[in-house]
Amino acid sequence: MKEVDNELLKRCANNLMFDMKEEEYHTLKNEFDILLKQMDIFKDIEGLNDVTPMTFPFDCESDFLREDVASEPYSKEDILKNAKEVLDDQIVLPKVVL
């Protein structure tokens, strides 16, 4: 496992475009050291590679959705007759960009 050093942390901070004080890098490095030690514990668990990763904690069945059945599209005339304002067979909408 690659060790996290201050150079790596500074490079990552630079890529993310934020500044940190030198003591913050030290604190962050200590946090990463603790995290990496905790991750090392996982390799000691027997049979961990035989388990399928869980992507969601509950079984989700979506059999309640309706079938997607194609239907006839609305005619242009039917759509335009409900529009408040029409210009050249297009619906006129209020300007939203200033």
3 state SS for 29-69: HHHHHHHHHHHHHHCCCCCHHHCCCCCCCCCCCCCCCCCCC
* Rounded Cα distance, 81 and 74, in Å: 12
For each of the chain's 98 residues, which pLDDT tens digit applies? Answer: 567 888 899 999 999 998 899 999 999 999 999 999 998 888 888 988 898 888 888 877 776 777 888 999 999 999 999 899 999 999 999 888 87
The 8-class DSSP code of residue 86 comes to E
0.85 exceeded by the pTM?
Answer: no
Residues 4, 35 contacting (CB under 8 angstroms): no
DSSP, res 93: -
